Amino acid sequence: MTRDAIRLRRVVRTFGAGDATVTALHDLSLSFAAGTFTAVMGPSGSGKSTLLQCAAGLDRPTSGSVLLGDTDLTSLSETRLTRLRRDRIGFVFQAFNLLPTLSAEQNVALPLRLAGRRPARAEVRDTLARVGLSDRAHHRPHEMSGGQQQRVAIARALITRPEVLFGDEPTGALDSMAGRQVLRLLRGMVDDDGQTIVMVTHDPVAASWADRVVFLTDGRVDGELDDPSAEAVVARMTRLEDAPC
């Protein structure tokens, strides 16, 4: 039986007020099964980042609920939401967001330190090994390639063993070879460790590594594709763009 790792129910997110109100998510309902890899696609401004931020507890919906396992994120106090994000959610960004003065090892250990735990060296080393960077433990971000920096960011997101790993265009700043390495790593985490991953991407090839693609248009789910090939994703995107308004 498949279990949902995360579930959005009738989520609305508006920004601003009065005439200037923007509705980024319109009554959106969506589930992500545990141990699956989902890509979220859609035109710029379609609500992809807002969806990810609401699902990850980085932003709060205006209405509706977000369930992580049995926990409703929208009912949590700010303090408990912060703790949940730290303990149960991983997030990687397009721009890596590593701390420039810290080594790879120190960056990876950071979430544990923030949780008040003294990180075990083996734990940090194992996580760096998982992303293929055992030999970069003492390097600082500027001494590494973009692909290596993103893999450090993934290790940092994984060190707390999060229930869901979110990525907002995690390969968007990488060349195709480094991007492929990151995607292979993400795919392996799903296949080998049962990790749940939700990734926003613009790239049909990146999306083809996922089990499912969810298409957003104007803050609404506008279709899905299972076991996507890059060609099928391109065909689907072209159809959306050609659709009459």
Q: Which residues bind Mg ion (CB under 5 A)?
A: 48-49
CB of 180 vs ligand ADP, minimal distance in Å: 23
To the nearest 10°, report the CA torsion of 168, 149, 141, 117. Answer: 80
**Which CB sits closer to ligand ADP, 60 or 140?**
60
Residue nearest to Mg ion (CB): 49
**Which CB sits closer to ligand ADP, 47 or 228?**
47
Binding site partner of 130, from Mg ion, ligand ADP, none, Cβ cut-off 5-8 A by kind: none
d(CA 105, CA 138): 6
Query: Could you tell me the two tokens for 156?
Result: 């940092």
Binding site partner of 236, from ligand ADP, Mg ion, none, Cβ cut-off 5-8 A by kind: none
**Which CB sits closer to Mg ion, 49 or 208?**
49
Binding site partner of 44, from ligand ADP, Mg ion, none, Cβ cut-off 5-8 A by kind: ligand ADP
The region that residue 158 occupies, defined by phi over 0 for left and psi between -120 and 50 for alpha, beta otherwise, is alpha
| Contact set for ligand ADP, span 6-35 (CB under 6 A) | 15-16, 22, 24
User: Is the CB of residue 12 less than 8 Å from the CB of residue 63?
Assistant: yes
Q: Is 46 in the site for ligand ADP (CB under 6 A)?
A: yes
Binding site partner of 195, from ligand ADP, Mg ion, none, Cβ cut-off 5-8 A by kind: none
Helix extents (H) in 57-134: 78-88, 104-114, 121-130
CB of 94 vs ligand ADP, minimal distance in Å: 11
d(CA 104, CA 122): 14
The CA-atom distances, in angstroms, between 195 and each of 50, 104, 110, 155 are: 22, 22, 21, 13
d(CA 181, CA 155): 14
d(CA 156, CA 140): 14
**From the list 6, 47, 174, 221, which residue makes contact with ligand ADP (rule: CB under 6 A)?**
47
Q: Is 48 in the site for ligand ADP (CB under 6 A)?
A: yes
Adjacency order of strands within the sheet including 71-72:
22-33, 4-15, 63-68, 71-72
Site size toward ligand ADP, by CB under 6 A: 12
CB of 159 vs ligand ADP, minimal distance in Å: 26
Q: Which residues bind ligand ADP (CB under 6 A)?
A: 15-16, 22, 24, 42, 44-50
